[in-house]
Amino acid sequence: MFFPPTPLIDGNGVHLPPGRDQLPLTLEHRQRAAEHHAGDPPAVPDPNARLLWTTGVFFSENRQSYLEQIHDPLLNELSLALTVPPYTDFFVDANGNPVTFDPRFPGDSYFLKTNAKDEQYAAFGELTYGLTERLKATVGARFSRTKFSFDTLTGGPQLFDVPRTGTAITRRIHSPRS
């Protein structure tokens, strides 16, 4: 067991347990996206045509994963060196229960893992009809669907609570307009 000199800070620096001066914090973010468009406009619009149109479809998918970690495998050693009681005496939930390291992320005093996905689909079209040489009527519509989803897990003693999970799915459908 490491017992630091007294005081913990003096003219020679901070006296921490061995290994406490270089603990890593990692942040990992991955993203994958795909987007596709397809349409059917006239090759070269005829300025004298009475009817012009445009139609098409759209698809987009975006996936992201995110992992944030504070690696702190010596948290207990630091607690014992500085205060004598173990870290579980300080890192407690609202009911006073100790918050320990999560076995899925051993040695991480904090972690946040999130996976997210959004998908978008759409079909659209527009018609323009020449009523006279100078007066035209245009009507268009777009039908689309958007879906967002994610799941998340966060925990570790620095959260001061048991590990938490979250999940959500949101769908939106947009109405046509003219």
Residue 49 domain-assigned?
yes
Residue of higher predicted confidence among 15 and 129: 129
| Residue-range definition of the domain harbouring residue 148 | 9-174
Q: What is the pLDDT of residues 74-131, one digit of tens each?
A: 888 878 877 778 989 989 999 999 999 999 999 899 999 999 998 888 888 888 898 9
Residue 3 domain-assigned?
no
Closest by CA position to 73, among listed 154, 5, 18: 18
The gap from C-alpha 106 to its chain's centroid, in whole angstroms, comes to 22
Residue 4 domain-assigned?
no
DSSP letter at 1 equals -
172, 103 in Cβ contact below 8 A? no
pTM of structure: 0.65
Q: Rg of the chain over CA atoms, in angstroms?
A: 30
What total number of domains does the chain contain? 1
Closest by CA position to 124, among listed 144, 106, 98, 110: 144
SS3 state at 147: strand
Residue 39 domain-assigned?
yes
